[in-house]
Amino acid sequence: MEIIISILAGVLFAVGIYNMLQKQLLRIAIGTGLVSHAAHLFILTMGELKRGAPPIIKEGITEYTDPLPQALILTSIVISFGVTSVVLVLAYRTITENDTDNMEQLRGNKYE
């Protein structure tokens, strides 16, 4: 199971980075979203995937889930949600102010 999810995370990373390397701004924004998804999936996988065991250690209990990755992933999801919305708003404003969504034209030596 871990292997499959790891491969999935890798594919998401690849797709995200491919999108981030494009010239169109919206694609870059989508790419960042995909890359963060990949990272979240990856954190979850790193704590071992298990079902049917509560995150409790008591005497005599051998089957338990590790709660820490879930706490980490939750924090990370909230943060990346906020950042993604910032990126979208910023991209929209940049596009309207500069009249282009092409990164080639946003390099920064045109107006100087």
Residues of this chain that interact with another protein (CB under 8 A) are 20, 25, 28, 32, 35-36, 38-40, 42-43, 46-47, 68-69, 72, 75-76, 79-80, 82-83, 86-87, 90-91, 93-94, 97-98, 106, 108, 111
Secondary structure in 3-state letters for 10-72: HHHHHHHHHHHCCCEHHHHHHHHHHHHHHHHHHHHHHCCCCCCCCCCCCCCCCCCCCCHHHHH
User: CB of 4: closest distance to another protein in angstroms?
Assistant: 16
User: CB of 65: closest distance to another protein in angstroms?
Assistant: 14
